[in-house]
Structure 1
Amino acid sequence: MRFKENEKEKLLEEIIKKIKKIRKSLNLKDTNFEIVDIELMDNNDTNIKENENIFLIIYALTRSDKSTIIGPGGWVVGKLREDLKNQFDKNLIIRVENYIDNIILKEKKEKAFLFLNKIGLKKGQKIMVLVQCSYDLSILDFLKKYFDVYAISLDIGSVVLPPKNKNIIEDYLINNKIPYNFIKPVELDKKNILKALNSYPCDIICGNMGKYLIKECVNKNIKYIVNNHISEDYRRDDNTKIYILNFLKIYPLKRGSLRSPYLNCPLMIQTCKKNKNNNKNNVKIKIKLIKEIVSNVYDGLIEPTEGSEKIMKIINS
């Protein structure tokens, strides 16, 4: 979204003045900070319900500057939003990013696309994307800008694809005119569900569904699957030579750049609840979940503070 002439400079100047004024009103230390750039983004290209939002991205020079702008408990940026929201015709959401981190992220993006080129995947080619849970919808939203995407979901039971998630996914796909298929190769029975609940659901359920995804790829003459739930960065099926890619491992997107709803996994939630009193299973599941969070923090998908909060919730659950 482009600023009109001189609009950007005026808004930037206004933001700096307001932040200083807000910090003073909150009796916070008079601290110098630098804003390198600002950017306005909306979701018009995604054509989903979140289109009512407009995002103001503030790029701070350093992490210290970022902390100054956000303020303790987010009070400064929260009050800044209240002061600015009437200037926009959509719901204003302010995100504060570290400029240096953003440069690093762009370098990671270039590296990721170089790797994809190396394995023969060029921009504009057809790929199949598994949209099941977690950040899958946001990954699809990103990938559709660069590739001809075909979406697929495993509709093998409400514990894996609850009606609420299915409706969110289908609404997005229809509104964005993305071809898709909800496949039902098997129906989860009680035995399989109990087995998954006593272990790590992704390994037991999603891990055994790969052959059906490959079959769909073969039928559609697609050579690349994006499945963000495999443990490796990528692998190649020996028989079909189809590549299975964990895009989040190849290119760890920052949480702040993800614009579509997070899809909770009810099976994972029930697994944690069921194994609460089973110390051996509980510890095993918690360790795996914590490792995933640590990996996401390291890759920049989530902020360290958010990661710490998630880990404490898992430990205390």
Structure 2
Amino acid sequence: MINKEKLIQEIIQIREEIGHDYVEPEIKEIHYEDDELTIIAPDRPEKSIIIGKGGWVVGKLREKLGIKSIHVISYTDLILKEYQLELSVKHLEKLLNKKQIPEEYTTVFTNLLELLKRKQEAPYNNNIIQKYVEKNINRENIPEAKAIIALSGGVDSSFSTVMAKALGFNVKSITIDPGTIILPKQFKYNIQNLTEAINIEHEYVPTDMNEIITDALNGKIHPCGRCSKNIHTKIEEQLEKEDTTVMIFGDLLSTGSQAIVKHNDKIRINLPALLRMEKSEIKNIITKYNVKKIKGYGCPLIVQVHKKYPQYKSFSIQRVLRETRAGILEPGEALELIRTI
């Protein structure tokens, strides 16, 4: 049987064996399920003690215990995650109670609310969403609950596409295609693999972004803001064309009430933000659907801007730092991204 006292002694012993300083770690609580152990440390310094330099301590602990995996979470990070999930639940309940959700979408949004509550009850459990997707990805979708998904081929939008189908949306994925300088072939491979794997409709929408591209290459702008706004406008146009109410994006940062917004009878959902997903959770889910991680910044345009105009690197780094402060990215993941910039 795994208990806190045994874990603390094992960690002390492992640290001694590999030459780390003697420290008696604090463990707030533990959870063991499906051969996976979650250790909740009081804060990040205690988390670092349990993980050890380069992850050696936690790696050897997993070997000694003979279990599949160990996740170490700081309680201070967990408080933020729990609070953000609470905001998501309250806002979605408010929309449903005030009948702001069209009737044909009620079942799907109720599914979403129930999932949010399950995650809120156990925010430390990073397997809740993965198990839900595996169980429901082949469910019969609701024909009237149509949703347009902005699918770029990156991990976040790919997760949103998989999640929307598992929730019961009748999904059509749209890719705004400005050309290979913004949407290179590796993203298109991911799009093809994903849409075939989960059997959903997909359409490329060619888009002229030459003005944005020219201004960026001439050093006038950092392109991401204008590019994102352009894509959002084009998706809204597709929403009107398809006579659909719901559009879904892969934004991770707009948590709480900003993760699901109703405006002019149209509903925008940022699914990863609403579900308070972390990058590691997302990657574990979408790799099962032939979506490959693209290293660093996959957009060739921003890579060229970084090379020609180093002053714009700080704008890109700030985005990474925002996701790190929000607990979406681990510091190690953030450092890897910053190095590519």
Task: Give distance in 2, aligned partners of 1:169 and 1:57.
Answer: 34
- Alpha carbons of structure 1 residues 20 and 126: separation in structure 2 relative to 1, 3 Å: farther
Matched letter for residue 268 of structure 2: I
Contact 1:202 1:229 in 2 (8 A): no
Q: Determine if the alignment matches structure 1 residue 290 to structure 2 residue 317.
A: yes
Q: Determine if the alignment matches structure 1 residue 210 to structure 2 residue 244.
A: no
Matched letter for residue 302 of structure 1: L
1:3 is matched with none
Q: Which among 139, 154, 162 is matched to residue 184 of structure 2? A: 162
Task: Give distance in 1, aligned partners of 2:37 and 2:184.
Answer: 33
Q: Report Cα offsets for 1:205-244 as digits up to 9, x if no partner.
A: 3322333212322343431222346997466555xx3233
Task: Give distance in 2, aligned partners of 1:123 and 1:297.
Answer: 30
Q: Which among 19, 26, 50 is matched to residue 27 of structure 1? A: 19
Q: What is the alpha-carbon root mean square deviation over aligned residues?
A: 3.7
**Residue 205 of structure 1: SS of its match in structure 2?**
helix
Matched letter for residue 68 of structure 1: I
1:136 is matched with 157
Listed as ranges, the gaps of 5+ residues in structure 1 are 1-8, 42-54, 277-282
Matched letter for residue 78 of structure 1: G
2:302 is matched with 268
Q: Determine if the alignment matches structure 1 residue 98 to structure 2 residue 91.
A: no
**Residue 152 of structure 1: SS of its match in structure 2?**
strand
- TM-superposed deviation, 1:164: 1.3
Contact 2:156 2:251 in 1 (8 A): no
Q: Report Cα offsets for 1:282-304 as digits up to 9, x if no partner.
A: x3x33422332332123221235
**Residue 300 of structure 1: SS of its match in structure 2?**
coil
**Residue 243 of structure 1: SS of its match in structure 2?**
strand
- Alpha carbons of structure 1 residues 75 and 230: separation in structure 2 relative to 1, 3 Å: closer
Q: Which among 222, 229, 248 is matched to residue 244 of structure 2? A: 222
1:153 is matched with 175
Task: Give distance in 1, aligned partners of 2:146 and 2:37.
Answer: 31
- TM-superposed deviation, 1:83: 5.2
- Alpha carbons of structure 1 residues 275 and 111: separation in structure 2 relative to 1, 3 Å: same
1:181 is matched with 202
Task: Give distance in 1, aligned partners of 2:304 and 2:170.
Answer: 32
1:78 is matched with 59
Q: Determine if the alignment matches structure 1 residue 243 to structure 2 residue 259.
A: no
Q: Determine if the alignment matches structure 1 residue 110 to structure 2 residue 86.
A: yes
Identity %: 22
Task: Give distance in 2, aligned partners of 1:39 and 1:175.
Answer: 32
1:4 is matched with none
- Alpha carbons of structure 1 residues 230 and 94: separation in structure 2 relative to 1, 3 Å: closer
**Matched residue count:** 277
**Residue 116 of structure 1: SS of its match in structure 2?**
helix
Task: Give distance in 1, aligned partners of 2:313 and 2:164.
Answer: 31
Contact 2:3 2:30 in 1 (8 A): no
Task: Give distance in 1, aligned partners of 2:71 and 2:181.
Answer: 34
- Alpha carbons of structure 1 residues 193 and 286: separation in structure 2 relative to 1, 3 Å: same
- TM-superposed deviation, 1:305: 5.7
1:193 is matched with 213
Matched letter for residue 42 of structure 2: T
Task: Give distance in 1, aligned partners of 2:71 and 2:33.
Answer: 10
Matched letter for residue 292 of structure 1: R
Matched letter for residue 40 of structure 2: A
2:135 is matched with none
Contact 2:246 2:267 in 1 (8 A): yes
> TM-score, structure 2 length as denominator?
0.65
Task: Give distance in 1, aligned partners of 2:165 and 2:30.
Answer: 27
Q: Determine if the alignment matches structure 1 residue 58 to structure 2 residue 79.
A: no
Contact 1:35 1:61 in 2 (8 A): yes
- TM-superposed deviation, 1:139: 3.9
Task: Give distance in 2, aligned partners of 1:230 and 1:114.
Answer: 18
Contact 2:150 2:249 in 1 (8 A): yes
- TM-superposed deviation, 1:98: 2.5
